C-alpha cells in the first residue's frame, strides 16, 4: 500500500515567540503598576537625588484640605507696665489717690481703705518745696519742710501694694525761674524775668536749665522711694500780659517743647518709676491749645497715667487719650 501523498503526521512546533511576548507584556504591566504604587512614596531631595518614603511623612506634615490656608496664631497679652492695662479689650481701671502734703505723710502715714494710695505734694504751688531738697532755690522751702529721711521712712512703713506718688509742680516756679532767668525762665524781650497776673514766674520747658532741674527733683523723689512722679502745672502760662513774653528763641512749637520735655524726663528716671501728668477735663476736651501748648492726644502716649481733679464724661476723655490709664485726685 502506498502512503498518502501530501499528508504527514503533525506533532506541533514550540510557540516560543508567543510565550516571550506574553512574558514581556506581563513584566510591563507589573512595572507600570509598581511605578504607580511607588510614585506616591518618591521624595526628591534638595541635591537632586531620589529616596523612597514608605511612612508617608510628607503627607503627615501637610494640612488636610479643610485646614489649608489656616494659620495658628499665638495670642500674646499686652505689655504689663504697672498692671493697670486692660484685659481682653476692657477699659483700664481708674485709680483714686488722696492728696496730702509731705508733712501730713510724715505725721499721719499713708491713707488706708477706700483709696488706692496717696499723691504726696513734694514741690507745690509756685515752686515751694515741702521737703528739704538739695536743689531748692533760696527761700523755696516751706515752713516745716520735712527731711528726706523722714519721707523715706514713712514710705517704707506703707508696705506693699500702696501706690506711692510724688506730686511735683512743674513749670510754675517763681523761685527757680528767677534764680536762673537765662537758663530756665520765661523772660521779656529785655531779658528780665516775665511775671503773670499773680506776679509769679514760670520756667520754659524748652530750656535746658529747666529740663536738668526738673530731672534732678524727680530723681530725688524716686530715691526717697516714690514709684510714680506726677507733674502738675504742666504747660506754658495762659494768664497775664502774654504779649510781653519773648519767644524769639523758641525753635519748636510749644507742644513739641512739652513732649520733648516729657521724653527727656522719662529717660532720666530709674526703671520702674512711672511718669504721669495732671490735666483738667477741659484741657483734654479742648484739643491742641496754641497758648499753653497742651495737646492731650500728643501727651497721652508719653505718660503712664493722666490724672484729673474731676471726671464727668469719661467716654469723651477716652476718645482723646485712648487707652492711657486715668486717675482721680481727691482731698
Indicate whether 49 pLDDT > 90.
no
Question: Could you read off the pLDDT of 14-35 as tens digits, one per residue?
Answer: 456 666 666 767 676 666 665 5
Residue 41: what pLDDT?
55
Which residues pair with residue 121 across a beta bridge? 101, 167
Percentage of the residues of the chain whose pLDDT score is greater than 90: 65
pTM for the full predicted model: 0.74
CATH fold for domain 95-330: TIM Barrel (3.20.20)
Paired sense of beta strands 50-52 and 42-44, if any: antiparallel
Which residues contact residue 17 at a Cβ distance below 8 angstroms, ignoring those fewer than 6 apart?
A: none
Dihedral class, residue 272 (left if φ above 0, else alpha if ψ from -120 to 50, else beta): left
Q: Is the pLDDT of residue 168 over 50?
A: yes
Domain boundaries, the chain: 16-61, 95-330
In tens, the pLDDT along 246-273 reads 999 999 999 999 999 999 999 999 999 9
pLDDT of amino acid 271? 95
Instruction: Supply the mean pLDDT for the chain.
Output: 83
d(CA 234, CA 255): 11
- Confidence category of residue 112, pLDDT binned at 50, 70, 90: confident
Tell me: pLDDT of 155 over 70.
yes
Amino acid at each position: 500500500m502506498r502512503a498518502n501523498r501530501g499528508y504527514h503526521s503533525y506533532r506541533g512546533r514550540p510557540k516560543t515567540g508567543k510565550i516571550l511576548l506574553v512574558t514581556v507584556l506581563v513584566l510591563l504591566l507589573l512595572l507600570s503598576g509598581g511605578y504607580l504604587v511607588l510614585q506616591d512614596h518618591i521624595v526628591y531631595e534638595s541635591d537632586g537625588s531620589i529616596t523612597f518614603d514608605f511612612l508617608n511623612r510628607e503627607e503627615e506634615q501637610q494640612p488636610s484640605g479643610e485646614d489649608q490656608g489656616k494659620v495658628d496664631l499665638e495670642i500674646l497679652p499686652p505689655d504689663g507696665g504697672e498692671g493697670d492695662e486692660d484685659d481682653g479689650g476692657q477699659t483700664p481701671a481708674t485709680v483714686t489717690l488722696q492728696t496730702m502734703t509731705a508733712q501730713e505723710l510724715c505725721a499721719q502715714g499713708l491713707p488706708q481703705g477706700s483709696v488706692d494710695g496717696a499723691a504726696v505734694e513734694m514741690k507745690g504751688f509756685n515752686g515751694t518745696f515741702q521737703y528739704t531738697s538739695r536743689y531748692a532755690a533760696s527761700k523755696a522751702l516751706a515752713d516745716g519742710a520735712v527731711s528726706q529721711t523722714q519721707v523715706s521712712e514713712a514710705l517704707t512703713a506703707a508696705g506693699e501694694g500702696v501706690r506711692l506718688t510724688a506730686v511735683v509742680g512743674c513749670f510754675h516756679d517763681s523761685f527757680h525761674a528767677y534764680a536762673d532767668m537765662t537758663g530756665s525762665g520765661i523772660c521779656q524781650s529785655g531779658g528780665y524775668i516775665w511775671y503773670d497776673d499773680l506776679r509769679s514766674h514760670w520756667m520754659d520747658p524748652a530750656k535746658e536749665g529747666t529740663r536738668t532741674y526738673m530731672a534732678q527733683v524727680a530723681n530725688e523723689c524716686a530715691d526717697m522711694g516714690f514709684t510714680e512722679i506726677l507733674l502738675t502745672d504742666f504747660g506754658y502760662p495762659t494768664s497775664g500780659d502774654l504779649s510781653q513774653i519773648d519767644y524769639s528763641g523758641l525753635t519748636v512749637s510749644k507742644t513739641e517743647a512739652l513732649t520733648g520735655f516729657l521724653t527727656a524726663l522719662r529717660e532720666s528716671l530709674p526703671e520702674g518709676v512711672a511718669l504721669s501728668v495732671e490735666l483738667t477735663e477741659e484741657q483734654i476736651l479742648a484739643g491742641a491749645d496754641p497758648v499753653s501748648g497742651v495737646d492731650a492726644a500728643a501727651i497721652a502716649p508719653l505718660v503712664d497715667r493722666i490724672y484729673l481733679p474731676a471726671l464727668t464724661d469719661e467716654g469723651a476723655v477716652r476718645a482723646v487719650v485712648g487707652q492711657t490709664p486715668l486717675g482721680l485726685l481727691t482731698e
